[in-house]
Amino acid sequence: MKIFLAKYEHKHGTDEAAFSTRKMAEAQLKAWAEEYVGDWEDSNTVRMTADYLIEHWTDITGGNEFLYVDELPLNNNAAEVIVEDYKRKLAKDIVEKYAEQIPFLHEEGLIGTDNLEEVEATILKSLREL
């Protein structure tokens, strides 16, 4: 499975929009071209079709801007990546929030860690020792 990333690179940064089809991404390029052609307007560009604008955008903008579609594989383990990111954030939040109340977090060297399993194991071990 793939995603199609419409990209508009310009002097203020890069605008991006992801789509499930190339046709939808190209429609976004057309929308951007039609929206911003006025910034580069002369008597010729006003009459150009959206397809022509996209094809020649870099020339029209003097090599300053780019419109294109990147085709990328869809990461099937995206949910796993999100969960792992959340677990790392949760581990950091737990350690930062409770570092003063739970002294063994300092003793075990967990300040600054992002390993949730390590934090969880250390807390459980400490609770068992109570």
Q: What is the DSSP string of 72-119?
A: EE--TTHHHHHHHHHHHHHHHHHHHHHTTT-THHHHTT-TT---HHHH
Q: How many residues would you count in the chain? A: 130
pTM of the full predicted structure?
0.56
Structure tokens at 17: 């929009």
- Per the CB < 8 A criterion, the answer to whether 17 and 6 are in contact is yes
pLDDT, residue 121, reads: 74
In angstroms, the CA 130 to CA 124 distance is 10
Task: Tell me which DSSP letter residue 11 carries.
Answer: T
Residue 63 region by backbone torsions, left for phi larger than 0, else alpha for psi between -120 and 50, else beta: left
Say which DSSP state 66 is in: E
The alpha carbon dihedral of 19, 22, 23, 25 has a sign of positive
What digits encode the pLDDT tens for the residues 48-93? 888 988 999 999 888 999 999 999 887 766 667 677 777 777 767 7
Amino acid 126: pLDDT: 67
